[in-house]
């Protein structure tokens, strides 16, 4: 991705971190069982699909290692209730993935149906995934006559605008 970005270009990402999908109200009759089903599903996904369901929290480090300048990062989640559009999205995903987990013996039919019922129950509230928003910039390199190398770095100013500055860096010799 970084190679495709031109100097002074931007990279914007949003990625989900599924670590917090859980019941928002621990007193709800299905809360503890729902949380257990979510933990089982996350373990299954990691084991069978080699998916890092906590990838969102790693992006900042990965982009920095790729040479991008951190401009802005934030994370957010939401509390949704069964029957909401967000719950419907999770329910539809579950209809596909839950069937596979049941076929592989990772979930029982009761656990599968509990999840589906929670996503349609308006009294059930759940914490959604943790979403990470990242805004990065590829530095702009300028060669000056004295053979020093400068990096254009974008930094937020006090009034919220982004200000470009040149920062001197040592020239590396082979």
Report how far residue 131's alpha carbon sits from residue 119's, in angstroms, rounded to the nearest whole number: 20
pTM higher than the cut 0.75:
no
Joined together, the tokens standing for residue 142 give 């300028």
| Residue 172 to residues 14, 58, 103, Cα–Cα distance (Å) | 34, 29, 57
Beta-bridge partners for 99: none
pLDDT 10s digits, 59-96: 888 888 888 887 678 888 899 999 999 999 999 999 99
| Residue 123 to residues 28, 31, 93, Cα–Cα distance (Å) | 8, 11, 21
Report how far residue 23's alpha carbon sits from residue 66's, in angstroms, rounded to the nearest whole number: 36
Give the confidence band of 165 by pLDDT, cuts at 50, 70, 90.
very low
Report how far residue 74's alpha carbon sits from residue 131's, in angstroms, rounded to the nearest whole number: 8
Give the confidence band of 20 by pLDDT, cuts at 50, 70, 90.
confident
Beta-bridge partners for 143: 149
Sequence-ordered list of residues with C-beta below 8 angstroms from that of 53, at least 6 positions apart, any chain? 17, 18, 19, 42, 45, 46
Report how far residue 136's alpha carbon sits from residue 152's, in angstroms, rounded to the nearest whole number: 13
């Amino acid at each position: 991705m970084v190679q495709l970005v031109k100097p002074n270009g931007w990279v914007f990402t949003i990625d989900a971190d599924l670590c917090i999908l859980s019941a928002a109200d621990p007193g709800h009759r299905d809360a503890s069982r729902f949380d257990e089903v979510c933990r089982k599903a996350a373990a299954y996904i990691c084991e069978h699909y080699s998916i890092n369901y906590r990838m969102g929290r790693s992006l900042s480090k990965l982009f920095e290692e790729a040479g991008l300048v951190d401009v802005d990062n934030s994370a957010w989640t939401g509390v949704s209730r069964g029957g909401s559009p967000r719950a419907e999205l999770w329910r539809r995903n579950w209809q596909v993935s839950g069937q596979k987990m049941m076929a592989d013996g990772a979930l029982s039919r009761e656990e599968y149906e509990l999840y589906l019922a929670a996503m349609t129950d308006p009294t059930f509230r759940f914490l959604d995934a943790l979403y990470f928003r990242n805004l990065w910039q590829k530095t702009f390199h300028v060669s000056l006559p004295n053979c020093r190398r400068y990096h254009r770095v974008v930094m937020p100013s006090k009034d919220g605008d982004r200000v470009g500055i040149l920062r001197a860096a040592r020239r590396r010799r082979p």
